Amino acid sequence: DADVTQTPRNRITKTGKRIMLECSQTKGHDRMYWYRQDPGLGLQLIYYSFDVKDINKGEISDGYSVSRQAQAKFSLSLESAIPNQTALYFCATSVGDNYGYTFGSGTRLTVV
Amino acid sequence: QKEVEQNSGPLSVPEGAIASLNCTYSDRVSQSFFWYRQYSGKSPELIMSIYSNGDKEDGRFTAQLNKASQYVSLLIRDSQPSDSATYLCAVNRMDSSYKLIFGSGTRLLVRP
């Protein structure tokens, strides 16, 4: 099994729908992150969490919300999906400062 | 100015050559630097980290860091077609908390 699992892998949804992307990890890392990737724009940070009670906005949090249900689970919600939220979404984990991230396999989201 | 800048490429090199990938960053107090490899449609994979000025070698990969010039590079020796991917540079941002900022990536193409 993968260390960082994202579900679903692919999702097509309609404009205005609420959708949740889920991330779970078996690495035991406290820190978890949600990024989106658009062609030519690199990875942009949406939200991050350093423990269950710590949630922080990233660069592009508008239109998104998150929930840290447990140390191992971090979910991303789009309250009312819009077409420009069509992107590849990645969850990542880290053990602490000065360490790199481990990424999940990604969720390709299409909003029509 | 972007916080982390990379030439988008593609950088095309023949098989067996040295590929040189470059990255500049804007935050002088950054302390941690990472290179990720990302195949098309896949998640980023950490291949190198570097924290001190100078070179760090790992197999065919060498990371080079020059903090005075705010410059980090990745050399790939004996390039193989399987090295064809997008290479992302990531640098930590030290504001209220530690997080990584990613460049938009350089696409490398190794010609057989």
The per-residue pLDDT for range A2-55, each reduced to its tens digit, is 799 999 999 999 999 999 999 999 999 999 999 999 987 789 999 999 999 999
Q: What percent of chain B has pLDDT over 90?
A: 83
CB contact under 8 A, B46 and A102: yes
Contacts of A99 in chain B (CB under 8 A): 32
Mutate to test the interface with A, among B102, B106, B107 (most CBs of A within 10 A): B102
pLDDT at A63 over 90: yes
Task: Judge whether A45 is closer than 8 Å to chain B, CB to CB.
Answer: yes
Omega of the bond prior to A8 within 30 degrees of 0, cis?
yes
What would the mean pLDDT of A80-94 be, rounded to a whole number?
A: 97
Out of B43, B49, B90, the one facing A105 most closely (by C-beta) is B43
**Cα angle A23-A25-A27, degrees, rounded to a multiple of 5:** 155
Chain A from 71 to 100: CB within 8 A of any B CB: 88, 90, 96-100
CA distance A16 to A6: 23
Rg (alpha carbons) of chain B, rounded to whole number: 14
Q: What share of chain A is helix, strand, coil (3-state, %, to 5)?
A: 5, 60, 40
Comparing CA positions, the residue from B43, B26, B42, B23 lying closest to residue B34 is B23
Average pLDDT (B103-112) is 96
pLDDT above 70: residue B83 = yes
Check pLDDT > 80 for residue B81: yes
Average the pLDDT over B9-18 and give the result.
96
Choose, out of A34, A35, A37, A61, the residue to mutate when testing the contact with B (most B CBs < 10 Å): A37
pLDDT digits (tens, 9 = 90+) for A3-14: 999 999 999 999
